[in-house]
Amino acid sequence: MNRLVWIAMVVLTTLPGSRALFAQNGVVNAGDVKQVRIGKGQVNLTTTNAYVQISIYNDSVIRVRMDRQPLGDDFSYAVIALPSPGSATIKATNDQINITTTLIQARISKRPFSISFYTPDGQPINEEENGLTTSWVDNTVTAYRKMQPEERFIGLGEKNGPLDRAGTAYTNWNSDVFGYRTDQDPLYSTIPFYIGIHHGLDYGIFLDNTYQSDFNFGASNNRFSSFAARGGEMNYYFIHAPSVAGIIQAYTGLTGRIHMPPLWSLGYQQNRYSYYPDQEVLRIAQTLREKKIPADGITLDIHYMDAYKLFTWDKNRFPDPAGMISKLKQQGFQLTVINDPGIKVERDYEAYENGVQENVFIKYVDGQLYSGQVWPGWCHFSDFTSEKGRNWWKQQLKSYVDVGVAGFWNDMNEIATWGQKMPDNVLFDFDGHGTTHRQAHNVYGLEMVRASYEGARAAMNKRPFILTRAGYAGLQRYSAIWTGDNRAEDDHMLAGVRIMNSLGISGVPFTGMDIGGFTGNAGVGLYTRWMQLGAFLPYFRNHTAVNTKSAEPWAFGEEALEVSRNYINLRYRLLPYIYCVFYEAMETGMPVMRSLAINYTQDARVYDNRFQQQFQLGNAFMIAPFESNQQYGEIYFPPGGWYDLYTDEPIAGGQIRINKLGMHELPVYVKAGSIIPMQSLVQTTAERPNDTLYLHVYKGDTANAIIYYEDDGQTYDYENGGYYKRTIRYDHQLILDKATGSYTSKFSNIKMILHGFGSLQQVKVNGGVQPIQSSGISFLSPISRFDPQGGYATTAVCQVQALSIKNSADRIVVEF
């Protein structure tokens, strides 16, 4: 009998009345369109079971909102853009509504309701899966999309797994995952945005819903991809542009882009859990200087506090914080301190007493303050989803600013508590849209860093450095992020690269990981390889846990020290280029660290497991990381010409090469046609380099350009024209366009260093003939220690041509 009932149900689901059967079994879809209201740039629909609003944001973006009840206030913590429909058109017939922009055609079917997206000439970009469309099971709403043959999926923020996420599934629920596995999900932050790729077309989908969400890219099925939220609206933005870079630009146009970070935060950062007392902090700083290891930052973990209580200092370990910080600044160091959201429940503790008095802590539904146990013991937590709670936090931060703290490391903000199970019935203000922990959880970290950034900026009147462990889409407006409590293992180093590449695809350019690994003890080879890699990451932070071995560069022997110093030196010489890439991130949303999938989207080899860790720093450099114990490695060179950074060997693109790997050099290559500004070596960004900008130009067959950018590196004067900016273009000649902005460049001279130009003897500069000099340069210093496998190491030398010119001309044209 049970079998007959099952067969009858299968038959019934294929009949026109099957939607009623779905409803009886707890599945509800939108049903048929009953009413249509068309306004400027917007369509509002009432269906059998839902209310729908479709809005044109711009030519690249169409938004879809759906709910089973009338749509509520239009509120988002992530999206800061307003709709601008422009010349888009909306046309309706009896069966269908078409929305057309210059880049997207959205087709809305009425019976039943569904929405699919096409190019203006009718090619399918992303279609709803017939028969499933969008539906609810209890409070969970899911959109089912048809998977195209060989479709790839990239992005989704801080996620483990492969670059191409086809065949996988993920959950977004910010989690404290100490020493996580390289296949673990979820991790610390939520960015529900991914990019789909098929048939030469690219699209993005951003699900702006802060409840727990689930994304399925064909896991356990061969029919659909899907995205779902376990509460709230189906609220997503469909994005289409001619390239992945265009999609990232459109997405960050919605959710915002970074401000220019303080220049010092791009230098090397020496961290540990924990450095104390104050004399140990000063000893670390002094040793960095004595050993000529450039560095700009030192970070204090939780042991600087009195019994882990926020906004306090342990008076025995740090009797004079202001005096210590002053001594650090005299040596060119800035101090970052850790901030957790938990405020200890303790009488006469100022932050606790004031927080209770100001009524800023989150509560249960019955009005009792919520308490969770973390480092100080039982704690209350500020409601960062309320303006009142954020303002209270800003006031508390002033105590740090007053003693000279320049960086604020926001940790444990998932919210993390012992037991990892905050009750659902804890209430949050949600900026006047009162809600429970279920909706507020994923956005809590974002609003904490918002309060930290806004508070520190106001108190310091210059750029603060903000770092976070948790967050939500849009976190790039306020903060850098690192990949949390990783392990000192080779697979974690490479997983960190993939996670950071994914964060970049997902709109977050300022990213890092704990160099050397947080838990466990790296061997000499792994530590050295990780330090080399760190020199090419946006945030270069060395960090290890309590009860591990010391992880400063001198702790692994002289050879590891020399290699580490070599790459830190290179990082500091590259700071003008890195700063230009951060400026590009501010202007366009392009990440600093770039998966090859951004520039070589349709090239199947970049998704190969062998090559998926390769990445670009800006557009000029390509880095190929490998496990520390590998002696040989396969490297893929995408189409176009490349140069070996260390030897200037030209390498044709479109090929795979097997390279011998060694401890002294990380495989790094330069794209032909690149323009790379560099400076003289400094020990800290507080030190002024010499007055010559070294402009490295690599010969290529395709045109290229870079926007060279400077400002004071500290203030927000650049927002009012206080910058120096000029476009530098290469297309068989080099053109430096007229500079704009009121800031005076720190470089009065330019030394052009030409790579790959053969036996060139002279050039024309603004029409006048100028001889050039041939010379050899090295990007690394010799390693003196004996290498048992290869004898004494020698340093590769590039044979180049160079010429010097003044940086005073409005326009400079160099003809080769």
* Sheet with strand 363-364: strands edge to edge: 363-364, 426-428, 435-436
C-alpha dihedral, 282 to 288 to 294 to 295, nearest 10°: -30
- Could you give the CA distance from residue 397 to residue 405 in angstroms, rounded to a whole number? 10
Same domain, 156 and 111: yes
Same domain, 335 and 193: no
- Coil/strand/helix, residue 31: coil
- Could you give the CA distance from residue 339 to residue 586 in angstroms, rounded to a whole number? 26
Both tokens assigned to 376: 């100080």
Residue 654 CB burial class (10 angstroms; 0-12, 13-18, ≥19): exposed
- Could you give the CA distance from residue 645 to residue 587 in angstroms, rounded to a whole number? 28
Same domain, 35 and 25: no
The verdict on residue 493 lying in a domain is no
The verdict on residue 343 lying in a domain is yes
Kindly name the residue from 129, 176, 414, 429 that is annotated as catalytic.
414
Kind plus residue range of the DSSP H or E element containing 437: helix 437-460
- Could you give the CA distance from residue 140 to residue 132 in angstroms, rounded to a whole number? 14
Q: State yes or no: cis peptide before 112, omega within 30 of 0.
A: yes
Same domain, 225 and 293: no
Residue 813 CB burial class (10 angstroms; 0-12, 13-18, ≥19): middle
- The domain that contains 187 carries what CATH number? 2.60.40.1760
Is 562 annotated in the active site? no
Is 485 annotated in the active site? yes
- Could you give the CA distance from residue 647 to residue 455 in angstroms, rounded to a whole number? 48
Same domain, 329 and 390: yes
DSSP labels for 406-422?
-EEEE-STTT--TTS--
- The domain that contains 308 carries what CATH number? 3.20.20.80
The verdict on residue 686 lying in a domain is yes
Of 794, 262, 293, 800, nearest to 572 by C-alpha is 293
Same domain, 324 and 425: yes
Domain closes at, from 255, 286, 318: 255
Same domain, 646 and 781: yes
What does the pLDDT read at residue 4? Answer: 40
Contact present, 468 and 445 (Cβ < 8 Å): yes
On the CB side of 470, CA atoms within 13 Å amount to: 27
Whole-number Cα distances in Å, 776 to 235, 459, 557, 608, 679? 58, 49, 30, 37, 17
The verdict on residue 274 lying in a domain is yes
* Sheet with strand 372-374: strands edge to edge: 342-344, 377-381, 372-374
Q: Which residue has the tokens 């040793």?
A: 287
* Domain that residue 128 falls in: 31-255
Whole-number Cα distances in Å, 699 to 64, 704, 769? 47, 10, 20
The verdict on residue 319 lying in a domain is yes
Strand-pair category, 213-216 with 224-229: antiparallel
What does the pLDDT read at residue 789? Answer: 56
- Could you give the CA distance from residue 155 to residue 499 in angstroms, rounded to a whole number? 9
677: CB partners within 8 A, 6+ apart: 576, 577, 580, 693, 694, 695, 696, 706, 708
Residue 71 CB neighbour total at 10 angstroms: 15
pLDDT averages per 10-residue partition of the chain, 816 residues = 40 41 76 96 97 98 98 97 95 96 98 97 97 96 97 98 98 98 98 98 98 98 97 98 98 98 98 97 98 98 98 98 98 98 98 98 98 98 98 98 98 97 97 98 98 98 97 98 98 98 98 98 98 98 96 96 98 98 98 98 98 98 97 97 98 97 96 98 98 98 96 98 98 96 97 94 94 94 65 76 94 96
**pTM of this structure:** 0.96
What does the pLDDT read at residue 17? Answer: 42
Residue 572 CB burial class (10 angstroms; 0-12, 13-18, ≥19): buried
- Could you give the CA distance from residue 452 to residue 325 in angstroms, rounded to a whole number? 20
Both tokens assigned to 448: 């904490």
The verdict on residue 517 lying in a domain is no
Kind plus residue range of the DSSP H or E element containing 564: helix 558-573
The verdict on residue 579 lying in a domain is yes
Both tokens assigned to 578: 């890195």
Same domain, 796 and 760: yes
Amino acid at 13: T
Whole-number Cα distances in Å, 705 to 258, 697, 735, 744? 22, 11, 9, 22
What does the pLDDT read at residue 785? Answer: 52
- Could you give the CA distance from residue 522 to residue 528 in angstroms, rounded to a whole number? 9
Contact present, 666 and 625 (Cβ < 8 Å): yes
Count of domains for the chain: 4
C-alpha dihedral, 579 to 158 to 149 to 128, nearest 10°: -110
- The domain that contains 564 carries what CATH number? 2.60.40.1180
Kind plus residue range of the DSSP H or E element containing 586: helix 575-588
- Could you give the CA distance from residue 154 to residue 152 in angstroms, rounded to a whole number? 7
- Could you give the CA distance from residue 266 to residue 510 in angstroms, rounded to a whole number? 9
Question: Dmax of the chain from CA atoms?
Answer: 96
- Coil/strand/helix, residue 131: coil
Both tokens assigned to 754: 């030409």
**Three-state SS annotation for 290-332:** HCCCCCCEEEECHHHCECCECCCCCCCCCCCHHHHHHHHHHCC
Beta-strand ranges (E) seen in 26-88 are 27-29, 33-39, 42-47, 51-58, 61-67
293: CB partners within 8 A, 6+ apart: 268, 553, 554, 564, 565, 568
Kindly name the residue from 411, 447, 514, 711 that is annotated as catalytic.
411
Same domain, 247 and 130: yes
- Angle, alpha carbons 140-142-143 (nearest 5°): 165
Both tokens assigned to 71: 């749509």
What does the pLDDT read at residue 26? Answer: 87
Kindly name the residue from 151, 208, 485, 490 that is annotated as catalytic.
485
- Could you give the CA distance from residue 445 to residue 451 in angstroms, rounded to a whole number? 10
445: CB partners within 8 A, 6+ apart: 174, 188, 189, 410, 413, 414, 468, 469, 470, 471, 472, 475
Q: Look up residue 128 and give its DSSP letter.
A: B
The verdict on residue 505 lying in a domain is no
- Could you give the CA distance from residue 754 to residue 520 in angstroms, rounded to a whole number? 44
Same domain, 249 and 314: no
- Angle, alpha carbons 434-436-439 (nearest 5°): 95
Same domain, 315 and 458: yes
Both tokens assigned to 630: 């590998």
Same domain, 735 and 753: yes
535-566 in b/e form (b: 16+ CB < 10 A) is bbbbbbbbbbbeebeebbbbebeebbbbbbbb
Both tokens assigned to 455: 């508070």
- Could you give the CA distance from residue 298 to residue 270 in angstroms, rounded to a whole number? 5
Whole-number Cα distances in Å, 69 to 111, 139, 624? 20, 12, 51
Domain closes at, from 457, 473, 489: 473
Q: Look up residue 488 and give its DSSP letter.
A: S
- Could you give the CA distance from residue 538 to residue 217 in angstroms, rounded to a whole number? 29
- Coil/strand/helix, residue 784: coil
> How many helices (H) and strands (E) in the chain?
13, 54
Domain closes at, from 437, 456, 473: 473
